[in-house]
Amino acid sequence: MEIPSRVTASAGPRIGTLIAPALASGVLVLWTAAVYSFSGYGDAWAIWPALAVLPIVAIWHAVLVFRLQGFRKAALLAAGGHLLFLVPLWFVCLMLISKDSL
């Protein structure tokens, strides 16, 4: 009988990988709170980081849906719920930063 030389942990995703999209949403809110009083109409320096959040979060969720083979439905449900919450929040943050409205 051989004794294994090392025991490996399960190869599941780390918690940081799973909550990264929610953290990006939090960073968006913090960025908006930090810069909206200092930004003016058409300030690109303030708006570009906020513009990048939605595509990054959507791509991250897509990667999670494809990588979590055993939990694909749960990942898809979480992605849909998060994006339903994020899209209106994203528009509000963009309007606050850019001083523009729909």
Half-sphere exposure of 37 (CA within 13 A, CB side): 3
Please say whether the beta carbons of 47 and 94 come within 8 A.
yes
Which tens digits make up the pLDDT trace of 44-99?
A: 888 999 999 999 999 999 999 999 888 899 999 999 999 999 999 999 999 999 88
- The residue extents of the domains of the chain are 17-98
Task: Name the nearest CA neighbour of 84 among 63, 58, 49.
Answer: 58
Q: CA separation (Å) from 46 to 25, 70, 95?
A: 16, 40, 11
Q: Is 1 helix (H, G, I), strand (E, B) or coil?
A: coil
Q: Is this model's pTM higher than 0.85 or not?
A: no
